[in-house]
Structure 1
Amino acid sequence: MDLKDVLAMEVPKAALKYIAQTNELKPGGTSIEHYADVLVHSPKTIDIAKVLARQYRYAGRTAVNLFIPTSGISRDWNNPKYFKAEMEKKYGPDIFTDGVKPQLTEEPKLIRIHEDGSRYILTFSYLGKPRRVLDNYEIVKRRPQLIDFVLIHFEPFMIEIRTPMQDTKKFKSAVLKAMGITKSTFEEEVTWEQITKLTDKEALELAIILRAKLRNAKHQMLEGIYATKEVTASPTVKDLSKEEEYLKEFKDIPCKKRVFNFLFEHSYGLKEDISYQITDQGLNFITPVSEEVISFVLDKIIQIRKKAWGSGSENFPKTGT
């Protein structure tokens, strides 16, 4: 995929438009394709266009959940050189270049690994649910070929899963299978600590650090006829967590989901509102986000979770993931 296509398919229009306007460039139209085209063909913006492509290609509107193994994985995997050697041994050197083409099923299979600084980005592909489409005006069923990403971090070894939250377990298994780690490999089963699974208190602490405003909340009711209650702030309310009416009804009731907004200034100058969701399953970005945003938020979560990790914090992931 060339640079223009990556920009048009992966980068939000607001980011492309901001760069074009900042550099006084006039695209041939108002579509995202027009903005992508003018950025890649101008000497003033070709470098920032490449940065934007790298920032968004594997990110976007996605769940982002970080796991660190607590048992069942050898310390050898902490070393990126060991990881690369094992992957090349199993899949061949093409896995790091052109990729491989396994027979696809509903189970995610590794097709390519991209080296990105001190981390590796694993691309998995699998077949989606059958869909009815027209083929020469005949109704047929086709199964789309889907892709999702898992990032591997080292020292310590961690996996960052960027898939829908309901698929997290499936992709943890897919990573282990790609590494050749099965239940029969070790006597001890692999167990994980989910860094991005926050308590109610930790979710609110994160919001304070980010200066985020609570926009939506779904609570698990402890009594009465409702299993859950979900509330959304009206347009005139900036932050539900500061409203006396909300606090009076929900202050001590467990929360299954919260949606927050916070203002983020990108390194290239654009300021935008970022919406993220914290659930009992982890972290999900509602706004299409860049690697910069993901790293920023994960950094804050890691700082918070270090307190819960306690005496073992020397083995906890470093900030600036």
Structure 2
Amino acid sequence: MMEDFLVFTTVVEQSSMNKASKLLNLSQPALSRKIAKLEEEWGVALFERKGKRLELTRVGQEAYIYAMEQCQRHQHFLQSVSRFKTAERRVVTLGASLTTIQTTLPPLVTALMNKLPDIEVKLITGKTHEIVSYVRDKRVDLGVVASSISEQGLKCIPLFQDHLELVVPRNHVLAGEQPAAMEDLNGLPMIIFSKGTWYRKLIDHLFGRYGIIPDVRMEIDSFEAIVRLLPTCRAAALLPQSYLRPQLLKDNELVALPMKELEQTRRETCLIYGSSLELTQETKDWIKDIKGCLINALELEQI
């Protein structure tokens, strides 16, 4: 019936069997038979011929409105089916190191969902070397790690640069001295990351280079816990710039102090995936878009 409606509305809009037959790629006799069949089924005359033109009868006008409505409803239905088919939930498995989850992951996933709203994201966590092996073994589709990876079979896309900053309570003795110096950390009460974490290795290397021995009050691998405990312990910490949003510092009455030596802790957060993985154009576009999104969300510098 939808084909008959299409034929009928086309004839009406062209006001000519000849023009309609060309548009529909039907012979004129075949087209005439379809219109005659429709008139026979409905038991009414749909057209009046006036010279070379066809004009709708009164009932033909009503039939045209009805046919148009049915065609539109059918078109809307087909569009809905198409959206449903394309929206079959694609699953992307994302691997992220524990420290990355606390800094990069929320805005990254937001960017992903904005770009691909019908996607389902599954998350696997682990340390950087574990995420690399997950990507290599195809346990995850994409990995986000706080370092640049150079390994055969993997592609690494830098997202943004980051470095550590000294964070102290607003009433801390160092809060009024800007910029702070590395020697200020010697003997200073501090909360640092747990052993085995990427940031702890980075901090230990930094302290070793400058001969710094801080007064370590706690070792924790949670950014949030460190931030909440700093005022209570009246201690300092070295935290990644990407985590130190202005509102976070304000809410916890903390300040971030510039320190020239900490610029040496600069690192890249990267997106990694198997070089054999054929990314869809949507995913490629997303990778391009999220770089800008992350720079804006985390207020970091572009690579």
Q: Could you say which TM-score interval applies, normalised by the shorter chain?
A: under 0.3
Greater percentage in strand: 1
TM-score when scaled to structure 1? 0.22
Give the structure, 1 or 2, with the largest relative contact order (CA under 8 Å, sep 6 or more).
2
Greater percentage in helix: 2
TM-score when scaled to structure 2? 0.23
